[in-house]
Structure 1
Amino acid sequence: MAIATAKLKKVTKKVPVRGMMDNVMEQFNTAADQINLHPNIRKILSITNNEIIINFPVKMDNGDVEIFTGYRVQHNNALGPYKGGLRYHPTVDIDAARALAMWMTWKTSLAGLPYGGGKGGIKIDPSKYSHSELERITRRFTFALADNIGPEHDIPAPDVNTNSQTMAWIADTYMSTRPPAERTANQHVVTGKPDGSGGLEGRDRATGYGVYLSIKFWAEKKSVSLKGKKFIVQGFGNVGYWAAHFLEKDGAKLVAVQDAFGSIQNQKGITVEDLFKYSQINDGSIVDFPNAMSVKKEEFFTLDCDICIPAALGNQITKKNASKIKAKLIAEGANGPTNVEGEKILLERGISIIPDILCNSGGVVASYFEWLQNRNGELWQLDEVMTKLDKKLKESFDKVYAYSEREAMDMRTAAFCIAIERIEKAYVQRGIFP
């Protein structure tokens, strides 16, 4: 009689995917340990103050109603009003909003601004909706959110897939909900508005310009010339384009670009303005640019270059690709593009990283300028804005670089230490309300 034997199936334990919140908390705790952060203040800074989730209906062009989910997370306001962008992307969820809000707290503190940190957005693929539908979605979201934002409370700004037009809709909708006598006084409820609607001249290039300046300052500290240096950019929106624009003017050579549609390279160089013009007439896509060849998505970060600028989404550089990166410098144009495991590998290999809360802070600094301009009824010229940006970003970079050298630590930990110490000082001086 044959005896049937059952084959035992090998069970492999699934390792949970590490989210952005895991990364930001590990970064925070590393810095908090370094500065011996008071346990009570650590508790406060480890959680968010407020988390707002809104489900709201919007009528589409065809008459159908769709339900959208919007988020706004307010992390901390010890130093001033919450400040941070609104993004429209399918990856938007409460975990991502929490992490991004916390990064904004550190970013505004590091820059010495009178702001706290907030972040949010709508879980949506905006490419699937018409211009008029996006306007209705934005206005409906703003109406639902109106009691939770304000020019002295929480000040949104553009982020992934949102722009000056989005901010103009938000400002107009918000102001229409205020009493008539207060409407014009609330124009600075958002920053990143169009020039003709209270926006700051130069705001469009501020983040990318800040990325460029961070690279320039790093090169000066290392006594390295940018002339002839090869760089690659992930993301060719405002941040990636302007960073590439200014680097090319300094003699560096763009050799590869990746966007949501594909990846291209040309080791002899890609002219930034030519690629920009091509993308403008190609629905924002760089795919099939005639002076470059296509590259597989997973090979992008392994390409030969001196400088790598991730300026798209979070968690792009991980333990899967960090060991293959050839760049000597990572300049983080996006928020959280390098996760903790990826960073450890890069640092072990001697690759320098200019952290996001320093590298891409040009945008929030310019937002502060716009907020001041609206608040004081002033109008700043482009050259004045760029001069102020240069000065502010140089101060931040020098402070972080000096701290990292003095304490023999990486620049991210140094940046976090400086940012957290400033907030800790505010709590120590003011005390905790009983």
Structure 2
Amino acid sequence: MIAIKEATKRSMLDNVMEQFNKTADSINLNSNIRKILSITNNEIILHFPVKMDNGEVQIFTGYRVQHNNALGPYKGGLRYHPTVNVDDAKALAMWMTWKTSLAGLPYGGAKGGIQIDPRDYSIGELERITRRFTYALGENIGPEHDIPAPDVNTNEQTMAWMADTFMSTKSSSERSRNQHVVTGKPVGSGGLEGRNRSTGYGVYLTIKLLYKSRGESLEGKKFIVQGFGNVGYWTSHFLTQEGAVLLAVQDAHATIINENGIAVEDLFEHSKPRKGSIQGFTGAEEIDPELFFGLECDILIPAALGNQITADNAYLVKADVIAEGANGPIDTEGEKILLQNGITIIPDILCNSGGVIGSYFEWLQNRNGELWQLDEVMQKIDKKVSEVFYKVEGLVKEGKIDWRTAAYILAITRIETAYIQRGIFP
């Protein structure tokens, strides 16, 4: 049985548009700017051939959606997943626009990927697929135009292949000036120390700050995580260092629980040779995946795919806090139920913004020819995420509104201000 759902009746695009329209109404957004922000700037669909290990040629479909660049170059991840399509990419690109704006970064929003399951391909095939996709994207990406990063099923190796391919299309004098075409690269190839943990660190930090504002610590707090990839692992790593207890984990292969706590590092070591799968871990008991969201816990962290919590299962949730490690894991109907039940939701555009903040610092490091150490990087990310958290918290308390509404108001208002100050060409 697949534990993590891959499709629901309500699309992510439906959700992001409802969230946007609700915010636009609440702040009386300028009607002309509303028209601009309600659509994407560019939607790129590419079909490209790649030779497989057996000599056969397969045709792949890749996407890059660029939503808005009023505040700076497009920025957003590339995912490799069978469910990748243009509508989901549009939704994710819009969320990136709000996320980068909320974080105060000089970026707009984009998203994309390739419609594949990477587990079906060898490392050599994935390299050729990635390089051919990068070549097909051509000048649609660039260090001052559109800067991809890792996302679901992509990693620093993917980014290294992309950077090398893109730089190889430039003259020798231009190559060094194009290293920051992507972020999330390996440290030895221009990557940032700590970039791999920055998203998970941001999720952990926003949870910690929320409880701190309540006069509580993380000691003894029980949490459950959906998805044990990069975000799920690092979030769990930092939370357990603060004394929190990992009660249960769910991925597409299994749902496991240990009432006494799951050993995070042991589970990580178990999953590494199994392409990230938690199935078969002896330090926990496997249970029915349908029970996962209804487990008694303090914190629920959906860190997998979108639309996991809906009207069909939101009423089961017993957590006090939901921290959105993934993008769009709760649909709008499910959220209404959760808020009615008094559950605090730390929204994705705040909760997992540590990733794009880390990407910004990597981009700056490459652009300026600098090299930063891990402790310096983590201090920068900590400071930036904390600043954004306190801004959102201030509006939550002032307006007596939920956290997502507050985050959206701040994000969209910043973009509106930019348009008003600059005007709209021509």
> TM-score over 0.5 for the alignment?
yes
- The amino acid across from 1:391 in the alignment is K
Q: Say which one has the larger Rg.
A: 1
CA distance in 2, matches of 1:411, 1:39: 25
| 1:92-139 Cα deviation digits (max 9, x unpaired) | 000000000000000000000000000000000000000000000000
CA distance in 1, matches of 2:42, 2:23: 24
* Residues 83, 104 of structure 1: 8 Å contact kept: yes
1:335-374 mapped onto 2 (5 Å cutoff):
335-374=327-366
Q: 1:281 is paired with a residue of what secondary structure?
A: helix
Residue 25 (structure 2) aligns with: 33
Question: What displacement does 1:181 show?
Answer: 1.1
Residue 59 (structure 1) aligns with: 51
Match of 1:328 among 320, 344, 357: 320
CA distance in 2, matches of 1:116, 1:265: 40
2:422 maps to 1:430: yes
Residue 167 (structure 1) aligns with: 159
| 1:22-68 Cα deviation digits (max 9, x unpaired) | 00000111111111100100000000000000000100000111000
CA distance in 2, matches of 1:416, 1:322: 22
Match of 1:121 among 104, 110, 113: 113
2:383 maps to 1:382: no
Q: 2:253 is paired with a residue of what secondary structure?
A: coil
CA distance in 2, matches of 1:262, 1:370: 35
| 1:210-254 Cα deviation digits (max 9, x unpaired) | 000000000011112211110000011110000000000100000
2:234 maps to 1:246: no
Residue 107 (structure 1) aligns with: 99
- The amino acid across from 1:310 in the alignment is P
CA distance in 2, matches of 1:220, 1:203: 25
Q: 1:232 is paired with a residue of what secondary structure?
A: strand
| 1:343-367 Cα deviation digits (max 9, x unpaired) | 0000000000000000000000000
Residue 147 (structure 1) aligns with: 139
- The amino acid across from 2:225 in the alignment is V
CA distance in 2, matches of 1:18, 1:285: 27
CA distance in 1, matches of 2:276, 2:34: 43
Match of 1:76 among 37, 43, 68: 68
1:194-233 mapped onto 2 (5 Å cutoff):
194-233=186-225
Q: 2:274 is paired with a residue of what secondary structure?
A: coil
Match of 1:157 among 146, 149, 160: 149
* Residues 358, 415 of structure 1: 8 Å contact kept: yes
CA distance in 1, matches of 2:111, 2:294: 31
- The amino acid across from 2:226 in the alignment is Q
Question: What displacement does 1:282 show?
Answer: 3.2
Question: What displacement does 1:259 show?
Answer: 1.2
Match of 1:304 among 293, 296, 309: 296
- The amino acid across from 1:220 in the alignment is K
Aligned pairs, number: 419
Moved more, 346-355 or 401-410: 401-410
CA distance in 2, matches of 1:401, 1:137: 43
* Residues 31, 414 of structure 1: 8 Å contact kept: no
Question: What displacement does 1:170 show?
Answer: 0.2
CA distance in 1, matches of 2:241, 2:103: 26
| 1:352-408 Cα deviation digits (max 9, x unpaired) | 000000000000000000000000000000000010111100000000011011111
Match of 1:134 among 117, 126, 137: 126
The two structures have a TM-score, normalised by structure 1, of 0.96
What RMSD, in angstroms, separates the aligned Cα atoms of the two structures? Answer: 0.8
Residue 407 (structure 2) aligns with: 415
- The amino acid across from 2:146 in the alignment is D
CA distance in 1, matches of 2:285, 2:252: 16
**Percent identity of equivalent pairs:** 72
Q: 1:257 is paired with a residue of what secondary structure?
A: strand
Residue 7 (structure 1) aligns with: none
Residue 3 (structure 1) aligns with: none
2:180 maps to 1:191: no
CA distance in 1, matches of 2:242, 2:275: 29
Residue 4 (structure 2) aligns with: none
- The amino acid across from 2:272 in the alignment is Q
Moved more, 172-181 or 206-215: 172-181
Match of 2:260 among 251, 265, 268: 268
- The amino acid across from 2:125 in the alignment is E
Residue 235 (structure 1) aligns with: 227
CA distance in 2, matches of 1:134, 1:413: 40
- The amino acid across from 2:205 in the alignment is L
CA distance in 1, matches of 2:272, 2:48: 32
Q: 1:134 is paired with a residue of what secondary structure?
A: helix
Moved more, 266-275 or 369-378: 266-275
| 1:276-332 Cα deviation digits (max 9, x unpaired) | 111123332111211211121221111111100000000001111110101000000
Residue 391 (structure 2) aligns with: 399
Q: 1:316 is paired with a residue of what secondary structure?
A: coil
Residue 92 (structure 1) aligns with: 84
CA distance in 2, matches of 1:283, 1:290: 17
Question: What displacement does 1:178 show?
Answer: 1.2
CA distance in 1, matches of 2:290, 2:65: 32
